[in-house]
Chains A and B, each alone.
Chain A
Amino acid sequence: MDLDKLSRRTVLKSAAATGLVTALGARAAHAQAPLVVGAIYVGPRDDFGYNQAHALGIAELKKVRGVKVVEEENVPETIAVQKTMESMIQLDGAKLIVATSFGYFDPHMLAMATKFPQVEFRHAVGLWDEKKHPKNAGSYFGYLDQAHYVNGVAAGLVTKTKKIGFIAAKPIPSLLRNINAVLVGARKNAPDATVTVIFTGDWSLPVREAEATNALIDAGCDVITCHVDSPKVVVQTAERRGAMVLGHNASQASLAPRGFVTGAEYKWETIYQGFAGNLAKGEKLPNWVRGGYDLDYVRNTAYGAAASEPARRAADAAIAEMKAGKPIFVGPFKDNKGTVVGTKTYDNYAPELEGMNYLIEGVVGSTS
């Protein structure tokens, strides 16, 4: 195959390039070739959730001049994603691969980054390690817990029963951190508020998510939120039952015209446009990108009908706090079994928080 390329395509291409170079100069020839970015999603792009949030960010990236985006959805975390990356590189000429799902990183993206050292690979979620991983790979993430904290602040002021329900997929650190942030936010104005968690066990189990939502409402929760791939079912079920809703990942405001309070959303476009800017200027992409409200990587959905005036004011104030870098997890604090797990106050960038494997005091539920 390499020989085949050499014999025909490369010769043609280099001939064309030489022609252009003589006619327009090297710089102009460079500017003509669009930068191809390949974006890969694990689910459908219109899932009202994680994938939609990424797709919206990528849609903003498409507007950048000189950038061409190729996208593929429903790519499983198997050899299929390696082949998708390879196909984007070999058939579409991608120079940057954006892999958005947890499970794409190891071994799939690492294998491809080793195989194609001239292509940049970036992965959403924090797994890249300078000591172990290829230099053309990296990871980026938005601290969504900051927006969940704002959700919690608003929830603390709208809940009547002081019980918030949380439908969660798997007990992994990035998810537990969001649950804990909702509780901390809610307790700011409602010190006796609790968050009750039900784990469904997987990222997309619509039937179980609906059952969990009903169970939490039956148990007295009047504000419902979640961390699953697509919050659609949870939000619709809560709306039908007359409960209030806090969104997750993307905007679900249109699904709950009565009960929507606010929602935690990623703002991936900030990161993606940053990448495109780096590449356009010929700069090396950063390998480790992290941030929350302070860097405009997350946002809250515009307030819905269920957000009372005091809740809006308190949430606005909480957003200002987050932008100023005020820490969420103020120590000392205990987990919900009574063990002291936080001895100090953690900065919002503290690496310890990325390994959070406990539910803090006030959360009803168990990680195992």
Chain B
Amino acid sequence: MDASQAAAPAPGGLVSAGAGARFRQAAEYIAIPLFALAVSAVLFSLFLLALGHSPDEFFSLLWRGGFGTAFSWRNTLQRAAPLVLTALAVAIPARIGLTIIGGEGAVVLGGLAAAAIAIPLAGTVPTLVLLGCMAILAASVGAGWIGLAGYLRHARNVNETISSLLLAYIAIAILNFTVEGPLRDPGSLNKPSTPPIGRENMLAPVPGLEVPWALVAGIAIAIGLHLLMSRTIFGFAARVTGGNPRAARAQGLPVGRLIVLCTAIAGACAGLAGFFEVAAIHGNANAALAAGYGYTGILVAFLARHNPIAVVPVAILFGGIAAAGGLIQRRMGLPDATVLLLQATVFVVLLASETLYGRLRIFKARTPA
């Protein structure tokens, strides 16, 4: 924004929607969540005091475990990586007015598909080709799975929240059946898994930074999706549909195709999260793929107000809380549930603070009376 504009009172409504207002809006989007975080810290401190623990120790451990050392940062970013992708799987459909909560299903099926295609390909094609095939298949399977929930919404008017959640249960059952049955590596006795993709084919962290590629991909996709939703006709049409599907249909927008595409994009993101789990961490598919990333992603997306860019810092915040959780358990002797309680407090307070948007006078454009 430029100084002359800020100093001069805006002459009319249209101009006031310019740089000054945009700045105020951005300030609002940053100040309200920070305020909510402070309130939840105070509430949580009261809880700790009631239990006879020191909030000071808690928050300094939280800082140290999540962000205080180079190792803590690596730990945090590692945990944030899958959350960026699974949160995008919630945020994009939200833009078109759909609440998709079954990203977990696309994660496990994406991972399973990636591990399955690796069985015939590993050892016969170069690593990069193998990883490319795995990633494409994982994203496609994820896209199909969540796209199905979108299609059911459009074609049969099935509630997408329920159907995506139920599809997640089915996906986990398919994963368990497949790794315990047809695709089981006979060598995996007590932990049924698919055959390994081979250590030499696994995805190492970004050299020098030791940051997972999943995070790099997540950030790139978040930026790409932000541009798609804010700068393209497709994004505009999707947002119009999200605002009022009936009006969008009356305008001649292809509502059905938009819904299926948005849900497919969502599923592709979650499917990729599954691919990275298999390619970078497990080296095969097994029951550990259903680790709950899909569900944590829902929280991340809601806290980011379904803004693809905001998903990244929120995922890092959650990653940091998770990373510090262990240190807090060990040093303070608190149960693991403490950290869940902190997450829940943050979530509830942030959601409650939604009501503040547009109501605080300092963020309002000063329009002449």
Contact = CB atoms under 8 A, between A and B. Distances in A.
B322 interface: yes
Contacts of B286: 103
Given A90-B71, A91-B71, A79 B281 contact: yes
Interface in A65-124: 70-80, 83-84, 86-88, 90-92, 102-103, 105-107
B329 A171 contact: no
A324 B224 CA distance: 68
Nearest to B323: A83
Given A44-B336, A79-B78, A173-B190, A70 B330 contact: yes
A40 to B, nearest CB: 9
Contact of B288 (A1, A44, A45, A78): A78
A25 interface: no
Given A78-B291, A106-B191, A171-B180, A83 B75 contact: yes
Contacts of B327: 87, 91
Contact of B326 (A1, A72, A125, A201): A72
Contacts of B282: 78, 107
A72 B339 CA distance: 12
A87 B192 contact: no
Interface residues of A, number: 41
A74 B292 CA distance: 13
Contacts of A90: 69, 71
Given A1-B71, A106-B191, A201 B176 contact: yes
A74 B281 contact: no
A314 interface: no
A173 B71 CA distance: 38
B14 to A, nearest CB: 51
B142 interface: no
A76 B70 CA distance: 23
Given A73-B335, A102-B191, A127-B190, A1 B329 contact: no
A174 interface: yes
A82 B361 CA distance: 48
A202 B326 contact: no
B104 interface: no
Given A83-B78, A171-B180, A88 B323 contact: no
B281 A86 contact: no
Contacts of B176: 201-202
B189 A75 contact: no
Contact of A88 (B189, B291, B330): B330
A354 interface: yes
Contacts of B78: 79, 83
Given A86-B71, A103-B286, A73 B329 contact: yes
A242 interface: no
B79 interface: yes
Contact of A80 (B189, B192, B322): B322
Contacts of A73: 329, 335-336
Interface string A266-289: 000000000000000000000000
A78 B190 contact: no
A191 interface: no
A1 B70 contact: yes
A59 interface: no
Contacts of A83: 75, 78-79, 323, 326
Contacts of B180: 170-171
Interface string B258-299: 000000000000000000010001110011100110000000
A72 B190 contact: no
A357 to B, nearest CB: 8
B181 interface: yes
Interface in B325-347: 326-327, 329-331, 335-337
B323 to A, nearest CB: 7
Contact of B71 (A87, A103, A105, A170): A87
Given A71-B330, A78-B281, A83-B79, A170 B69 contact: no
B93 interface: no
Contacts of A172: 189-192
Given A44-B336, A171-B180, A78 B277 contact: yes
Interface of A: 1, 4, 44-45, 70-80, 83-84, 86-88, 90-92, 102-103, 105-107, 125-127, 170-174, 201-202, 354-355, 368
The 9 closest A-B pairs by CB, nearest first: A1-B70, A74-B336, A70-B330, A77-B288, A83-B75, A78-B291, A172-B190, A72-B326, A84-B326
Given A170-B192, A172-B190, 20 more contacts: A1-B70, A1-B71, A71-B330, A74-B336, A76-B292, A78-B281, A84-B326, A86-B71, A86-B75, A87-B71, A87-B75, A87-B327, A88-B326, A91-B71, A102-B191, A103-B286, A106-B191, A107-B281, A174-B190, A202-B287
24 contacts: A1-B71, A71-B330, A73-B335, A76-B288, A80-B79, A80-B322, A83-B79, A83-B323, A87-B65, A87-B326, A90-B71, A91-B327, A92-B330, A103-B191, A103-B286, A103-B287, A105-B191, A170-B192, A171-B180, A172-B190, A172-B191, A201-B173, A202-B176, A202-B287
